[in-house]
Structure 1
Amino acid sequence: MKKGILMVLAVIMVAAAIAAGCTGTSDREANLNPSETRTLLLATTTSLYDTGLLDALKAPFEKEYNAKVDIISAGTGTALGYGENGDVDVMMVHDRAREDAFIENGHGIDRRVIAYNYFVIVGPEADPAGVKNMNPEEAFTTIREKGLADPAQVKFVSRGDNSGTHAKEKAIWNGAGFNYTTDITKSGDWYIEAGTGMGATLVMADEKAAYTLSDIGTYLAYKDKIALVPVVSEGEILLNVYSVMRINPEKHPGVNSSLAKDWINYLITPSTQKTIEEFGVETYGEPLFFPAAGNWDTMGVNRSEVEGPVV
């Protein structure tokens, strides 16, 4: 983990301890005066942050629970790293395989699915690779083939940051029959690794007139700033499921486990799920996310992963 990030986290945690009257104990959950503001440290994927959804969700929570939510936005891989170190109280990510491993290793508990949307492949309106309306695997194969042949005309910008979106990209390459390490990375000038969040990656792809993979929510939030258009939006592999989990206090005793529990239960309430359903509709003419409530079959998850409060 970068030293600078650790220093930022340390400052936030010390400030939270002082604000909550917690000096003299390592547990940020200690709060003898319920009238004082508690702080929740949340690590989240950039797509939830860049769209503005978390800002819309946190304000009512802060008022109801007399709390302050400090958000650290990063790729899923980095967010999980914060959780493994006990640097945050709760996380919201979108990479089921790594989430399962995180829980199996004892770092996370009480996972709940809270929303979903879909990934889209976006690119220049002229579509120089000619991939419009292909399935995702066929589109990736064609972009690679034409990019290798003419990188000046066909490029692909990858998140390249070990995020959930990057993991999905690698899954599509694998589904198309390619070894990501040997066939894609460093295979030519056509393939560019941004190493940035989703919003910044969209801007870079737009500047280079390149293709990229984006969650639909961040794309809609940025579409007025860029000229890229969706070229592939259909395919089972494009499903994008978001979940929340709290950090296991038995493994990381310093976390604010009680407030993390409140946050999870708040997210799965009917009123918050309604907020998720309506978010972005007025501005973009369509939702940026779909609520998890009632849609477990669509997401391919168990009902128990969506419903039921954390106790």
Structure 2
Amino acid sequence: MDKECKERTEAMNPINRILLYFTLTVIVLSLAGGFSKPSSELYRNQVAVLMYHHVHDQDESSSTVTTGLFRGQLTYLQQKGYHFISLADFRRFMHGGSVPDNAVLVTFDDGYKSFYDNAYPILKQLGIPAVNFIVTSDLADPLAPLIPTLSKEEIGEMLRQSPGMYDFQCHTDNLHRMIGNKAALTSVTDDQGNPISGDAYNAKIAADSAACHQKLTELHGKPEAADAYAYPFGVFTKPAVQLVRQAGFQYGFTIVGEMATRASDPMQIPRINAGNPQIQPANLHQIIMRRIETVKR
């Protein structure tokens, strides 16, 4: 700094002098690369698989979120730098393929009609893929359940309008129910709760899984499309998993609240519950952040 410049600087009041030095420092550091753009990477080589059930503005339950909250959660995650992937992307990831940093897979259970009426329009507008695990026996009469479910026509429309974006997979054919206090999938009993033999149990699970696979094949028009299964109530056993796999399902989704990695057992893929009305957008981001701390980056 020359003598004249030094004299002018010393003549400044202290506040102006601090501002001048700060400005010069910013300029120098910027030219030297001292400030770089913050990285948008929160995590890599793992996927936050989110679980929802019902999106509705009148119904209320611990697994029902309003359309406003659903949109708010997804929009918030997009703004935070998350990247949403499809089930096809997730399959490739599990086989060694890459996914974007901060990858998220949106899943739904139960195949409620509210997916078509309320969730699908939001997902489509935001450009976010999703997979819905449906109870295929409900396809025969989708208005019969207490909460109406998706029809073949609605599923077909979504598959045609957005190929590869929206997928529909198995949540059993007719085992999404309880037998006494046990899930039908794992209960070694008949429908009246009477004990049955191991062979009879195996036949029960095999028949139900085969029925679900066949109905999904008819919906998609190709047998290889039916390959994912969500365990009802998140309950499963080793024998049940083996029987489901033998029916042709390669991926089993649980309700264990962790991140999915390539090291995850493909038949025990964890999911993070996002479909509780108490989970505000910022809370969902924080929940995911806490989960990645337990996974080797």
Query: Structure 2 length as normaliser, TM-score?
Result: 0.25
The structure with more radius of gyration: 2
Higher share in strand: 1
